[in-house]
Amino acid sequence: MTDVEVPVAMHAVIFDMDGVIVDSEPYSMRALIEVLREHGIDPTPEDLQRSYGRTIREDFAHYFRKYGVTADLDAAIVRKHARYCQLAAGQLKPFPGVMALVERLRRHGYRLGLASSGSQAKVVLGMHALSINGIFDTIVTGDDVTQSKPHPEIYLLAARRLGVEPAACVAIEDAPAGVQAAKRAGMRCIAVTNSVARAQLLEADLIVDSLTADLSPVLSLSILRITPSDPPDAAALPGDRSAE
């Protein structure tokens, strides 16, 4: 008799912030490059790719070690955040489809978490800009963990705070380190190609170019159906046969 794999019902969705919910990475990367250059570091494209998903402290510590810089780490972090705030002021917007997806998940009873390697100050800035305070059941930032993605700590902590087993969580990510962190935590993962190429996200269970895409291979079809509580003009996500 062969074992039959029984699908695990998904009860929670945990979002990354930058590059998934808010289109902030261009401003964050520009601020990082400017501060690194102030310290005589000219990062390569490969360097910058590895910055996605790391906490700001671990990121600067890595660059300073690699390039032999002995400057004050805390001062560099403060400078980068200040420059990011200047660049991002009035510019932050949500990615297409993300707010509609969040609302639909909430209506269908999913627990929602946020697991961002960004500092608490950066996350708060993004949430205020998008007016999404109070949407998530738990928020974990880079200030809450000791290990950066791809270590699974941030996702395990988010699941524990949500009261949901990791196997019943779906993570939504935009970077290889984030995908690896989610998978190492035992979660399913949807990767969106907002920040890096599809070829760098192959460990994800599903790769999409936008959160307006059909997510039903990973998320229950029930969230893709129009319900009586939906506004009459609510658009069905692709794959929503109830709207055909």
User: What residues are annotated to the active site?
Assistant: 16, 18
As a whole number of angstroms, the distance between CA 190 and CA 213 comes to 11
Sheet of 111-115, strand order:
138-140, 111-115, 12-15, 169-173, 188-192, 206-208
Question: Which residue is associated with the tokens 């399913």?
Answer: 188
Q: Give the contacts of 197 (CB within 8 A, at least 6 positions apart).
A: none
As a whole number of angstroms, the distance between CA 213 and CA 149 comes to 25
Handedness of CA 67, 71, 72, 78 (dihedral sign): negative
